[in-house]
């Protein structure tokens, strides 16, 4: 925790991947960093629990896939929606919601006694009421039930912030429970300037306990079909994610080596000068750094010369002006959805290290994703959405490929100091900037 507190990231925005109560508490405290620090002391456990679980989940998505289809339904909530729809009718069976209501999403949540708090927030924004009540387009509303609003901090966030929060619960288009099983990220009605004005996205995942959004919010029921879309009640408020840097700093047990690398190379100073419209960050975990081996680590972290190389490695992990999610791609020319196909989809993204490309291969099939960087380097946690981009956690530190043979990373990950120097020497600080990668 110690060096985390010295990072300049502390001043940045909000939190992520936390129970939203903690998140909102932090938001209320952004002007008093000391208190923020104090709050952070509670975070590592939560973070570890989430990242630990997640690793298991990523590898077992396939097995979980079928079990997840039958989600536990909360009967009370089920009834509440059915009652809102047909006053006086009462029980109908709880197996799916094949019946499509004649009411709009807005009308359904205003009538449900379990969603009064969220409806009250919606009511403060005429344009959002109109959006959820209109039949000009279809939406998916992830509506936090009232219990999600218990224990919120007293200090009310700004109207602007609350609007962003409310919009972040609205998925563009209809995502039924079944469709979510084939989806990795969902675009929302929250347009994010830092993503080039494109929709901020929600990360979805499927596990033994059903469908989760952004690692922490669970669907507690699903598929209430409204006239203009679908409603899924959830157990936590969805808070728009923070900046990439802040997000990494929330997981010291996973990223302390990376954060130390940022600190030692004064990386923040460099990155603040970089203009970028969205970003894709391939973040190596502590484990990934360890795999480089003790000698390479000693060189990178403990020698003056090595720090230049370390900085080069850090630049190679960051892609500017392109935000690549498992199932969507934003660049300066707009957005496109990636196909679900058994074929591997291939991207060469331009990194901050002398515009060197980093190769990404994605294979999606039936809700299952495989994702590699430079050949063998597997993405172990995909699609950690951030305000200004997306983070993918990689199992090895990405190193630019050998100039003369192929684009693949070494299969093991360990590298000797000479190898590291050979592969990076041309790109360390002040080296002449190559005009064209193919000329090298």
Ligand X SMILES: *[C@@H]1O[C@H](CO)[C@@H](O)[C@H](O)[C@H]1NC(C)=O
State which of positions 105-124 bind ligand X (CB under 6 A). 116-117
Q: Which stretch binds ligand X (CB under 6 A): 299-307, 326-334, 388-396, 430-438?
A: 326-334
Nearest alpha-carbon partner for 344 in 323, 386, 375, 310: 375
- Phi, psi (deg, nearest 5) at residue 264: -65, -30
CB atoms within 10 A of CB 296: 25
Question: What's the closest the beta carbon of residue 274 comes to ligand X, in angstroms?
Answer: 5
Nearest CB to ligand X, comparing residues 148 and 206: 148
State yes or no: residue 144 binds ligand X (CB under 6 A): no
Question: What's the closest the beta carbon of residue 336 comes to ligand X, in angstroms?
Answer: 10
Nearest CB to ligand X, comparing residues 38 and 178: 178
The token pair at 326 is 């498992």
Check if the beta carbon of residue 22 is closer than 8 Å to that of residue 216. Answer: no
Check if the beta carbon of residue 19 is closer than 8 Å to that of residue 152. Answer: no
Nearest CB to ligand X, comparing residues 96 and 334: 334
State yes or no: residue 274 binds ligand X (CB under 6 A): yes
Question: What's the closest the beta carbon of residue 95 comes to ligand X, in angstroms?
Answer: 20
Pairing of strands 198-207, 185-192: antiparallel
Straight-line distance from the first to the last Cα atom of the chain, in angstroms, rounded to the nearest whole number: 42
Nearest alpha-carbon partner for 322 in 296, 293, 355: 355
State yes or no: residue 346 binds ligand X (CB under 6 A): no
Question: What's the closest the beta carbon of residue 104 comes to ligand X, in angstroms?
Answer: 6
State yes or no: residue 59 binds ligand X (CB under 6 A): no
- Torsion on CA atoms 283, 289, 292, 294, rounded to nearest 10: 160
State which of positions 73-112 bind ligand X (CB under 6 A). 102, 104
Question: What's the closest the beta carbon of residue 382 comes to ligand X, in angstroms?
Answer: 21
Check if the beta carbon of residue 328 is closer than 8 Å to that of residue 389. Answer: no
Question: What's the closest the beta carbon of residue 301 comes to ligand X, in angstroms?
Answer: 26
- Phi, psi (deg, nearest 5) at residue 348: -110, 110
Point out which residues pair with 378 in neighbouring strands. Answer: 372
Check if the beta carbon of residue 330 is closer than 8 Å to that of residue 322. Answer: yes
Nearest alpha-carbon partner for 190 in 218, 225, 214: 214
Letters for 154-183 (x = contact with ligand X by CB under 6 A, - = none) are: ------------------------------
State yes or no: residue 332 binds ligand X (CB under 6 A): yes
Residue 287: strand, helix, or coil: helix
Rounded CA gap, 434 and 440, in Å? 7
Question: What's the closest the beta carbon of residue 170 comes to ligand X, in angstroms?
Answer: 15
State yes or no: residue 198 binds ligand X (CB under 6 A): yes
Q: Which stretch binds ligand X (CB under 6 A): 54-62, 181-189, 328-336, 358-366?
A: 328-336
Question: What's the closest the beta carbon of residue 155 comes to ligand X, in angstroms?
Answer: 12
- Phi, psi (deg, nearest 5) at residue 21: -60, -50
* List 119, 280, 321, 374, residue binding ligand X (CB under 6 A): 321
Rounded CA gap, 15 and 61, in Å? 26
* List 129, 172, 338, 421, residue binding ligand X (CB under 6 A): 129
Question: What's the closest the beta carbon of residue 272 comes to ligand X, in angstroms?
Answer: 12
CA atoms lying within 13 Å on the CB side of residue 356: 25
Check if the beta carbon of residue 157 is closer than 8 Å to that of residue 196. Answer: no
State yes or no: residue 133 binds ligand X (CB under 6 A): yes
Nearest alpha-carbon partner for 247 in 23, 76, 94: 23
* List 256, 257, 265, 276, residue binding ligand X (CB under 6 A): 276
Range 131-159 burial, b when 16+ CB lie within 10 A, else e = bbbeeeebbbbbbbbeebbeebeeeebee
Q: Which stretch binds ligand X (CB under 6 A): 25-33, 195-203, 367-375, 425-433?
A: 195-203
Nearest CB to ligand X, comparing residues 279 and 326: 279
Q: Which stretch binds ligand X (CB under 6 A): 257-265, 269-277, 369-377, 430-438?
A: 269-277
Question: What's the closest the beta carbon of residue 261 comes to ligand X, in angstroms?
Answer: 20
Judged by the rule CB under 6 A, the positions of this chain that interact with ligand X are 102, 104, 116-117, 129, 133, 136-138, 146, 149, 152, 196-198, 274-277, 320-321, 330, 332, 334
């Amino acid at each position: 925790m110690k060096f985390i507190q010295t990072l300049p990231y502390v001043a940045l925005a909000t939190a992520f991947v936390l129970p939203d109560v903690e998140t909102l508490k932090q938001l209320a405290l952004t002007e008093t960093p000391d208190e923020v620090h104090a709050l952070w002391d509670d975070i590592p456990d939560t973070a570890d629990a989430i990242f630990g679980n997640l690793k298991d989940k990523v590898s077992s998505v396939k097995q979980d896939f079928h079990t997840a289809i039958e989600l536990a339904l909360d009967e009370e909530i089920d009834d509440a929606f059915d009652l809102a729809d047909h006053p006086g009718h009462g029980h109908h069976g709880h197996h799916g919601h094949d019946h499509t209501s004649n009411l709009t999403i807005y009308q359904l949540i205003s009538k449900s006694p379990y969603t009064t708090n969220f409806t009250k927030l919606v009511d403060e924004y005429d344009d959002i009421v109109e959006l959820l009540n209109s039949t000009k387009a279809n939406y998916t509303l992830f509506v936090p039930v009232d219990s999600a609003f218990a224990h919120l901090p007293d200090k009310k966030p700004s109207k602007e912030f609350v609007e962003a929060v409310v919009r972040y619960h609205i998925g563009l288009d209809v995502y039924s429970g079944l469709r979510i099983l084939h989806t990795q990220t969902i675009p929302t009605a929250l347009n994010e300037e830092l993503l080039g004005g494109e929709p901020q996205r929600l990360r979805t995942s499927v596990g033994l306990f059903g469908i989760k959004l952004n690692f922490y919010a669970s669907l507690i029921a699903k598929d209430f079909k409204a006239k203009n879309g679908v409603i899924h009640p959830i157990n936590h408020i969805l808070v728009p994610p923070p900046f990439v840097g802040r997000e990494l700093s929330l997981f010291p047990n996973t990223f302390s080596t990376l954060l130390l690398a940022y600190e030692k190379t004064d990386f923040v100073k460099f990155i603040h000068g970089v203009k970028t419209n969205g970003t894709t960050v391939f973040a190596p975990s502590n484990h990934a750094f360890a795999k480089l081996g003790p000698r390479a680590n000693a060189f990178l972290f403990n020698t003056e010369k090595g720090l230049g190389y370390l900085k080069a490695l850090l630049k190679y992990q960051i892609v500017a002006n392109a935000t690549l999610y498992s199932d969507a791609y934003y660049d300066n020319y707009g957005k496109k959805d990636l196909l679900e196909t058994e074929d591997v989809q291939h991207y060469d993204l331009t990194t901050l290290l002398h515009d060197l490309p980093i190769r990404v291969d994605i294979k999606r099939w039936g809700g299952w994703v495989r994702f590699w960087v430079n050949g063998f380097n597997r993405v172990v946690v995909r699609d950690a959405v951030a305000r200004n981009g997306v983070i993918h956690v990689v199992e090895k530190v990405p190193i630019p490929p050998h100039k003369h043979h192929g684009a693949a990373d070494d299969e093991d990950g360990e590298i000797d100091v000479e190898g590291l120097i050979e592969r990076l020497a041309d790109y360390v600080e002040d080296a002449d900037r190559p005009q064209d990668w193919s000329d090298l």
